[in-house]
Chains A and B, each alone.
Chain A
């Protein structure tokens, strides 16, 4: 996002400045959320792969990573743990997606307000 000027005479009020600041903050938050959502999705995919591997294996005891070590954990417990982790991550993912939608909506509103006042003197698009 840049604010470009072309020698225009539109005055910038403190309220305008605050709107621009808010847009900047929202834009940053949007990119952070995109990254976090991508990471959460990858985590869920990994859990699903692990789950599938678990079904295929015929061992009763699985080496499950806890912290930095691999503990010998019975298969049932591993299944339960993976389910729990998937559920936590999915809930987290939902929350992130909701926040992202809210941020996008707020950014659209601010764009309307700022473009209405500044028209071509301001650029709020991704470069």
Chain B
């Protein structure tokens, strides 16, 4: 039997987020706990979650919506195989499968509608076959055969897409082959003189960091999905990492890319750090979302591991002050590795996720802090918001940097609120996707989406999009007030990245996913009308295609189309993303 990548698919959920052993549940006492051993929160009781969950959504632990437990093979449409292609692949010795489970696993990303359908046991068009190339040359062979036999190839990395990018186009009549890059997961070399590493594109984030750490290095690229998402996927979607303030986004990290296309292999001839050789061909590859070819190998910048890391947090009296502080930090170009600002709703949410405190002393301290902030400093608990910080570097510089940032924060009424709150904020990033699965057990569905926006628009877009979500839910007949919250997750010289979280209790709705999609659509319209971008780092996929033309103009569309037409005239890479 095959081994599917460094993370065998058996240890992953087939109809939810992440590892099978890690999930939130309400135990017999009605207390929330997080199972497994992988995370800081694992094995802990979270006493505040139940009340927050019931209070925020009007949900009830008696009203359950459990998922269909097992995948039934009969629900999966039979594979349409291109026999000649299969024969030739077989002769190359590259592993492949048309097992139903393997195909279903690679037929989706993590959009709400995709997971919702899986939980209900509904399976649409899925790939007819999965191949596992183990190196660049395997990919070259597969692409050649696909061209020869006219089969449709869909590259698959970590499967963490939230743009419907992995959905098989239902109108596709050819055999669809999912090209799983998970076996291409080696670091081929590390160049300590130039601080670069040459890596196969199928490697997932946590493995890349772990392996580099063994040699004392890191890339510093940490998207929220880094446990599961792959290097090739980052390149194909123009990913962004939490610590981009130090290390840069994927476009800043990449030195060299090798991609296999139906026209052949595209790559540059050298690894010069910057070139003036016409438009950068890397920028045709980055963000191409699997429509042009398969990224097989990437040379990336690496850095020595930081000697010191410190979390931190600041409480602001309100969101406006918090945004003003982030803007000032960006202006002075002194942003820590990460700085994020949560709004009041998210602050409360974070608060509800506090694990059971171990000692009376801690709870006493918490009480004291709360008293100091709300009573002594006069912060309104319904308006205050919190920024989480992560500093990295050598100890002395970190402490100096920390002081600088806290001084700026103080000018905007910000109060330092401890390392612990900061660290919990970042941990939340990794478990929030698990929380969605818990919600879905109890009639609550939700999703997050992001945008980037100029500084002067940040407050307006946050207010308007949140209000639009609430208004649309009401108009669409949602019976309970939704959770509509946001946070500023990245700062730039000229603007910020804003994340929206949105969830509601769908009891009483006949087609909750449709309602959900309508609301998300309206929210995206609102984002665009308020000067926000179509996407900061999630990509376009098929979910946001309809807005591409308005986003990049007719000529822009024509440019991209003509590249596609040249590189892939027969639409072998037929996932139909982007254009």
The answer on A and B forming one complex is no
